Structure 1
Amino acid sequence: MVGDNNLHDIRACVFDAYGTLFDFNAPLAARRARIGPAADRLSAVWRQKQIDYTWLRSLMGKYADFWQVTGEALDYALAVCEVDDPALRAELMQLYLALDAFPDARPCLEALKGRRMRTAVLSNGTATMLTAAVNANTLTPLLDRVLSVDACGTFKPHPSVYQLAVDELDAQPAQVCFVSANGWDAAGAAAFGFRAVWINRAGAPVETLPFPPVAEIRGLDELAGLLPSQPEE
């Protein structure tokens, strides 16, 4: 645990999508035999460049949606790994539309809905990408909102992105528990005023920024134990 774990007045729980609810390594895992030894490196470079390009485009004021950014990042990763296979590229992009949810995602969301907690996804992904992933894992009944940064034309961790959840859920920032497996995203949410919970699946050190999460957990199965049994009205 880190920070001040005070989550008794939470009215809504907002989740990041990629790496938090959905496994972004799934496309490469599905094509590992075809790609060979470069699969792990390709997956890691793809993900890192995907994040890098969102930050760079935000700083440059040159927004492009996450589908385009994901494709650009994949092109870079394929070049780094010296993989020249247009058909594979097309397959990996399509697989990204139907990412597997982590095994603990559904039980977590079911537990929160059982407590009448409002739930949402807030992601860099486009509405099309997010809807596809949610539908592929039949999570639609467990989510009150699916929110894309397309609505504000910039990426996390810009404060305007987190404001989307406040506006849609009609809650004050301190009444929102924001859950992310990305340490930088948890820090951005905490800086905005959310009660951020960081899912540290990899056992990484906490980001050395002055915006710590209120709690650190190893999986979504630990989240319900931190939250009130029923949200305050």
Structure 2
Amino acid sequence: MTIKTCVFDAYGTLFDVAAAARQAAAEPGREALAQRWPELAQHWRLKQLQYTWLRAVADAHTDFWQVTQDGLDWALEAVGLNDDDALRQRLLDLYWELGCYDEVPAMLRALKEAGFQTAILSNGSPQMLDGAVQSAGIGAVQSAGIGAVLDDVLSVESVGVFKPHRKVYDLVAERFGGGPADVLFVSSNGWDAAGAAGYGFTTVWVNRAGEPMDRLPWKPHHVLSDLTTIPDLARSA
């Protein structure tokens, strides 16, 4: 098996989804959030994902920005901060500027230098993904974001259903050609890495939090704690 294309989930994999709540909590006047931000961030992310699954099975698609707002509204109410409209807006604004994890720029650069095609495949809307890619600087050229080391950014909006639907994974071959065996797919979501394994990709679950394996019919081929060794793994797969 020879990997030709390395494909990454975006939120939680390349981009730190807790960064918005963490950054807002450190700002002056956010003492109430400072006490609850980890809980808020956890609720927000979980509800965001749950709403994608529920909308997918109910055939009630909307874009990822809507489920991001819906998830935040639930999370703010859960921690008792839903009466602060300015906080809500600040958190949403920050979500468009999420930073990438520290190892991401060097990892993507190493993949490109080794000759791999690289892409994002995400539930995110094109506009959201563009904002995240542009805000995540690489090297000294911050204005280029990480777009300089990505061949494409693929969004589920082109097929109108969220992951792990097979139509989403089909987008990779439609863009790059070849078959599932040519692809290394990397996600911080165990269910996503498992679903992609069932599709036929070689998959990596980036399990930063040390969570248990999801009980699904498929399992990721590899489990890592961060993305640092992805280039080595891609060369040896």
- Distance in 2, matches of 1:129 and 1:196, equals 25
Paired residue for 1:15?
A: 8
Shift of 1:76: 0.7
- The superposition leaves residues 46-104 of structure 1 with CA deviations (integer Å, 9 ceiling, x where unpaired) of 00000000000011111010001100110111111111111111111111111010001
Paired residue for 2:179?
A: 172
Paired residue for 1:92?
A: 91
Q: Is the 8 A contact 1:176 1:195 kept in 2?
A: yes
User: 2:205 aligned with 1:198, yes or no?
Assistant: yes
- Distance in 2, matches of 1:224 and 1:69, equals 33
User: 2:232 aligned with 1:228, yes or no?
Assistant: no
Q: Is the 8 A contact 1:179 1:199 kept in 2?
A: yes
Q: Secondary structure, in 3 states, of the residue corresponding to 2:6?
A: strand
- Distance in 2, matches of 1:174 and 1:116, equals 17
Paired residue for 2:20?
A: 27
Q: Is the 8 A contact 1:12 1:171 kept in 2?
A: no
What amino acid is aligned across from residue 58 of structure 1 in structure 2?
A: A
Q: Which runs of 5+ in 1 are unaligned?
A: 1-7
Mapping for residues 15-164 of structure 1, pairs under 5 Å: 15-33=8-26, 34=30, 35-83=33-81, 84-137=83-136, 138-164=145-171
Paired residue for 1:3?
A: none
- The superposition leaves residues 195-225 of structure 1 with CA deviations (integer Å, 9 ceiling, x where unpaired) of 1111111112222223111111111101111
% identity of equivalent residues: 46
Per the normalisation by structure 1, the TM-score is 0.93
Q: Is the 8 A contact 2:96 2:128 kept in 1?
A: yes
- Distance in 1, matches of 2:35 and 2:165, equals 37
- Distance in 1, matches of 2:50 and 2:211, equals 19
Match of 1:184 among 187, 191, 195: 191
Could you list the runs of 4 or more consecutive aligned residues of structure 1 that deviate by over 4 angstroms after TM superposition? none
RMSD, aligned α-carbons: 1.2
- Distance in 2, matches of 1:122 and 1:142, equals 15
What amino acid is aligned across from residue 158 of structure 2 in structure 1?
A: A
- Distance in 1, matches of 2:16 and 2:215, equals 25
Q: Is the 8 A contact 2:169 2:196 kept in 1?
A: yes
- Distance in 2, matches of 1:227 and 1:66, equals 29
Q: Secondary structure, in 3 states, of the residue corresponding to 2:228?
A: helix
What amino acid is aligned across from residue 115 of structure 1 in structure 2?
A: A
Q: Which runs of 5+ in 2 are unaligned?
A: 137-144
Match of 2:226 among 219, 225, 229: 219
Q: Is the 8 A contact 1:28 1:39 kept in 2?
A: yes
Q: Secondary structure, in 3 states, of the residue corresponding to 1:146?
A: strand
Q: Is the 8 A contact 2:6 2:234 kept in 1?
A: no
